[in-house]
Structure 1
Amino acid sequence: MSPKSTLLETPRLRLRTFRDDDVDAFCEYRSHPDVARYQGWSAPVSREAGASDIREYGGTDPSAPGWFMYAIEAKTSGLLIGEIGVHLHENRMQADIGFTLAPAHQGMGLATEALTATVDSYLARGLRRISADCDARNIRSAALLERVGFRFEGLRKSNRHAKGEWVDELFFGMVSECRKPT
């Protein structure tokens, strides 16, 4: 792996840019029904669609306004196990964040580790606010956001129409001076 591709590192993970050879693992976890359930895509994810997404994700800059997708790699295996997306606003003072982790790697604190590193990195750059939302039925994601230090800010009933149904959404936020030490 190129040292330039690693952007953040934790004890068990590398957060890096996506590579062409990530496509099989990417499609596998994005095609899992439990993963896709609360996301904007539908399972299964074809190899062609996955390769297109990876090409798109690989060409962005984490410090530029817009979406940047971090590939989450397990250090022990070198395998892609998930992703974190950060949407940096034009003002470069606030961002939205989202995450996905392969089912086989859930429940081990890896999402907490990756999300904490990402949030800390952006706050260290001077961000004032980071926001996140999730489907109200996705209690594991809501708990993860609170564990990392996000505060619950509200519930919007029938806020989004997704996959043929109206979805309630939970909203979370973190303001830099309110950040709990990690």
Structure 2
Amino acid sequence: MEQFIQDWGYIALFLYSFGGGFLALVIASAFSSSGDLNIFITIIVAAVANIVGSQFLFFMAKNNKNYAQNIMNNHKRKVALVQVLFRKYGSFVIIIQKYIYGVKTLVPLVMGLSDYNSFKFTVINSIASILWASIIGYGSYIAGSFLLEYADNFKYIGLVTVVVVLTILIISFRPKKRRSRKNDI
């Protein structure tokens, strides 16, 4: 398993971070804390992939407006949120969008459809991606060493937690018995 992680970990991290996801960065950073991956390479790969992915979305929207509009038609409320955030925070929204689930892929599309300067977007997006990869990566690296140290204890607690949560969900969402109206009259 360790050899598989060492061989394919950075590729999986690149592909997942290209789409804006941070779960692969968290997992790769945790593996870095155990020595399976290098934390510096992990952060660099995630940052580069995130920069390239956001740039792809920005220029795709800039050069193919109809396709980008069709994508965003399914997310009208989120697009409205992005526009409100942009009016309120300006270019800073490019930095904070990396941490907001659900809008991080829409911000480059909205910016690409607008008349936002391409060079300015590239610079701010690069800074935001490097910050994102560094903060999430290093935080997960620190937490990963703690979690891996106590992993044997956590696996049983995790299993019990899953069983309890599933039991509560099944009980709370079971169909309720309906009384017939004939008995009420």
Normalising by the smaller structure, the TM-score range is under 0.3
Greater per-residue strand proportion: 1
Q: TM-score by structure 2 length? A: 0.24
TM norm structure 1: 0.25
Higher relative contact order (CA 8 A, sep 6+): 2
